[in-house]
Structure 1
Amino acid sequence: MPRITLTISGASNDELTRRVAHELGQLTASSLDKPYNATMLMVDYFPREDWFISGRSLQELGKNSFRLEVTVTDETNTREEKARYHRDAFDLLTKLIGDIHPHSNIHIIDCRASAYGYGGETQEHRYQHAMASV
């Protein structure tokens, strides 16, 4: 169950939000082999004049940026899968948002199964119950 938090520079844009939510959710589910129906995605916007890279605002630079955080259960994705996801997500967001500063970033957060979950149960609990049924 990935939790995706995406911050995009600029003013809120409903059309972009819906498109990003759908396409990034699909990409995350397929690239990281996660169930799409258990994917949570939150999109927020941050003013370009208040977002700085190397001491200059994105507004001054004439660029856009994003910060993408994806939380997954530790040890459920390989190094190669994460590297591919970084490339694919960066390319997708560059295409959808446009004029992306190269210092836009992606952070995949690996959480221990005993500390991460949904619906009042940890991923470790789900795993143990699934193994007991085998």
Structure 2
Amino acid sequence: MPFARLTITPTPLQENAQALAAELTDLIAHDLGKRRDLTSVLVETTGSQVWTIGASERASAAHLEVYVTAETNSEDEKRTFIANAMALLRRAHPNLGAATYVVVKQLPATDWGYDGRTQADRAKERPMRLR
């Protein structure tokens, strides 16, 4: 049950934002092995705010954070996801600079939940996964 927050400028058209959210959902499911039907993606735009890199204003910028339960992904899975997510962002916004960050935040299973129950409690009721 990952949660992803993409902050991006310039503001994409609604249909482009929806397509980007769908592609991120698919990427999270594929590269990180998460359930697509439980993946939540929020696309935020900066509107009239100023985004700078190196103190210089940028017309095109993005930052992606994906929250997952700690110890559910290998280093290789995270490396692959980060590379593929950056490629996806660059396809959507070709002028993104190198200082575009994709972050996989790992939260302890006791520190976040789904439907009012911690991930740790939910995991106790699931059959053991082989991965």
**What TM-score do you get using the length of structure 2 for normalisation?**
0.91
Question: Paired residue for 1:3?
Answer: 3
Question: Paired residue for 2:110?
Answer: 114
What is the Cα deviation at residue 26 of structure 1?
A: 0.4
Question: How many Å separate the matches in 2 of 1:48 and 1:99?
Answer: 19
Question: Structure 1 unaligned runs (5+)?
Answer: none
**What is the aligned residue count?**
128
Question: Paired residue for 1:40?
Answer: 40
Question: Paired residue for 1:101?
Answer: 97
Question: Structure 2 unaligned runs (5+)?
Answer: none
Question: How many Å separate the matches in 1 of 2:125 and 2:40?
Answer: 23
Question: How many Å separate the matches in 2 of 1:48 and 1:55?
Answer: 17
Identify if the C-alpha distance between structure 1 residues 54 and 48 changes in structure 2 by more than 3 Å, giving closer, same or farther.
farther
Question: Paired residue for 1:70?
Answer: 66
What is the Cα deviation at residue 97 of structure 1?
A: 2.0
Identify if the C-alpha distance between structure 1 residues 49 and 71 changes in structure 2 by more than 3 Å, giving closer, same or farther.
closer
The one-letter code of the counterpart of 2:19 is: R
SS in 2 for 1:85: helix
Q: Report which of the two has the higher share of helix.
A: 1
What is the Cα deviation at residue 127 of structure 1?
A: 1.1
CA-based RMSD of the aligned residues comes to 1.6
What is the Cα deviation at residue 43 of structure 1?
A: 0.5
Question: Paired residue for 1:55?
Answer: 55
Question: How many Å separate the matches in 2 of 1:93 and 1:123?
Answer: 29
Question: Paired residue for 1:84?
Answer: 80
The answer to whether the Cα contact below 8 Å between 1:12 and 1:44 also exists between their aligned partners in 2 is no
What is the Cα deviation at residue 98 of structure 1?
A: 2.0
What is the Cα deviation at residue 46 of structure 1?
A: 1.1
SS in 2 for 1:50: coil
Structure 1 runs, 4 residues or longer, greater than 6 Å off: none
Which region of structure 1 is more displaced relative to structure 2, 26-35 or 7-16?
Answer: 7-16
